[in-house]
Structure 1
């Protein structure tokens, strides 16, 4: 009798065995296996989601005990996914990267009205302003749901922004009906990805939820700071050598001119500098004694303000243009070097 009882308790219908084997085959055939929550998703909406995922992922809905048994009889790594099997659960099979898979599921979410007895997923706020309702009983219905309403200009208006339900509150039938008529849809329907197994690693949803814009911004900022540090520390690398050489050449040129070191490359600037200094000295000397300078030099001083004023402006503009060009070259070098810092 005991043997017969044992045989009866361990008997599993063939269809369940087939279901378990099918799950195990799908696990073996895909690089990524996900556990998703499907609570509250209507059958029609679930079918649409499965259709939208075609070619990227397969969704299999079956009993939790069969999912649990299939995972339990898989490898030790996959077996750990059992702790995510709860409530209404489905399996997701894909060859996509887990992070890409998470993004795909998030983009596939759709807004929906909240049902009577549903839990508010967030604070539900009704904004003040006109509605599309004509005057009628709707005014009383709005007011009885805690929404201040009235009639203005022949239309029903909401007179004050009001939070009608806090996150976690149970929404009654009356409020759910009013929210639906106001086309307020606080519920997001979608496959709730709890965890994904890939190559011996389990990624929970908190890890997969990455803000791509912030992530890319952080990397870009890190590269820029690394580049600036390398330039300021004069650390040569493939990405910085061009800028460092340009900086060194500019600094050496300025040093040579300020130190009045006579070299072929700088002789023009040095002669121009000397000429300017000579004219300034001659101007001061002539103010003290008109005979201190020659007539030719005096004529030069008399004509230089009109003749040299415009060239000075042009020279300044040219110098600014050169500086601007150099700045553009440096910026181009920086932009070109950002990606190669990590080569």
Structure 2
């Protein structure tokens, strides 16, 4: 016969379990658990078994244990978890790859009906088609302003209907209609809200960043630093190449406009005086010659060939007429 534990004993056991996990794990996923049933949670625990542990509990108990553990061990970084414990949340302790664990957690979703008063997580659209309901249900569709027609003794929806918008509360009529249609438009599961790793807290979107994404973000940051440095005329590592080339352009324009010259401006000045010197010999088109002339000549020759052949044909025909 199982011994029934008192509330105090349950709290002591919970504190010991959470403290043990805080000692052994440095990676934690904070997950939202709204509308997640016990059977579904058991399946998630089974799917994560081996390298991850799911721990649920009251937020007050978790915060209390975290504070006591931080005072006991001197690990103040663990206190960064406390602001994340808001609402119906749980903790997933893991030693595996955070991205893979979050994908496993997201995989366990269960379809659920639209119950009255729930906040719709997605838009619900009723597609056109046969509902399988008898004509006596037509008035029910009329209340919801859904156009229907009777087809082969059943009610048929004529056009798609935007029944519920994301973020809206599900009304009694909408819930009743979806129940009649046998639809379960929503799906619920553990949702990763935040990631904790060795004292750092970040958004779960960071787990899905690729090397190309990081390179793009870094390049964008460098471009912003360079633009700011150029705007305030402050030399920085990002802006120095631009400043040097801009200075060279200024000196070059000065050398072209005046008799002043320097080594790196000589070739530009020489080109401006006589551009024909810089035309390559192989495949070059002399200055002043239309490059389209040879092509036009070839086209003319091709046009003339058919005319000659037609004359020959005409001559032969004349001999035998």
Q: TM-score under structure 1 normalisation?
A: 0.54
Which residue of the partner structure matches residue 190 of structure 1?
189
- 2:60 & 2:214 partners in 1: Cα distance? 44
Q: CA RMSD in A?
A: 3.0
Which residue of the partner structure matches residue 268 of structure 1?
none
After TM superposition, the structure 1 = structure 2 runs for residues 113-262 of structure 1, keeping only pairs within 5 Å, are 113-131=113-131, 133-208=132-207, 210=208, 215=210
Residue 69, structure 1, aligned to residue 64, structure 2: yes
* CA drift at 1:165: 1.6
* CA drift at 1:119: 0.9
* CA drift at 1:42: 2.2
Distance 1:206 1:72, change over 3 A: farther
Deviation readout 1:274-308 (Å, 9 max, x if unpaired):
xxxxxxxxxxxxxxxxxxxxxxxxxxxxxxxxxxx
Deviation readout 1:161-218 (Å, 9 max, x if unpaired):
111122221112231122133343332211121222223322323433x2x7xx4886
Stretches of structure 2 lacking an aligned partner (at least 5 in a row): 1-6, 217-281, 284-321
- 2:40 & 2:143 partners in 1: Cα distance? 32
Deviation readout 1:208-243 (Å, 9 max, x if unpaired):
3x2x7xx4886999xxxxxxxxxxxxxxxxxxxxxx
Which residue of the partner structure matches residue 318 of structure 1?
none
Number of equivalences: 211
Residue 15, structure 1, aligned to residue 10, structure 2: yes
- 1:152 & 1:16 partners in 2: Cα distance? 62
Distance 1:42 1:147, change over 3 A: farther
8 Å contact from structure 2 (residues 192, 204) kept in 1: yes
Which residue of the partner structure matches residue 319 of structure 2?
none
- 2:162 & 2:155 partners in 1: Cα distance? 19
- 1:218 & 1:35 partners in 2: Cα distance? 24
Deviation readout 1:283-341 (Å, 9 max, x if unpaired):
xxxxxxxxxxxxxxxxxxxxxxxxxxxxxxxxxxxxxxxxxxxxxxxxxxxxxxxxxxx
- 2:182 & 2:212 partners in 1: Cα distance? 36
Which residue of the partner structure matches residue 52 of structure 2?
57
8 Å contact from structure 1 (residues 119, 169) kept in 2: yes
Distance 1:80 1:116, change over 3 A: same
- Partner of 2:176: helix, strand, or coil? helix
Stretches of structure 1 lacking an aligned partner (at least 5 in a row): 1-11, 222-256, 259-343
8 Å contact from structure 1 (residues 146, 164) kept in 2: no
Q: TM-score under structure 2 normalisation?
A: 0.57
8 Å contact from structure 2 (residues 112, 186) kept in 1: yes
8 Å contact from structure 2 (residues 126, 160) kept in 1: yes
* CA drift at 1:108: 2.3
After TM superposition, the structure 1 = structure 2 runs for residues 90-109 of structure 1, keeping only pairs within 5 Å, are 90-109=90-109
8 Å contact from structure 1 (residues 120, 186) kept in 2: no
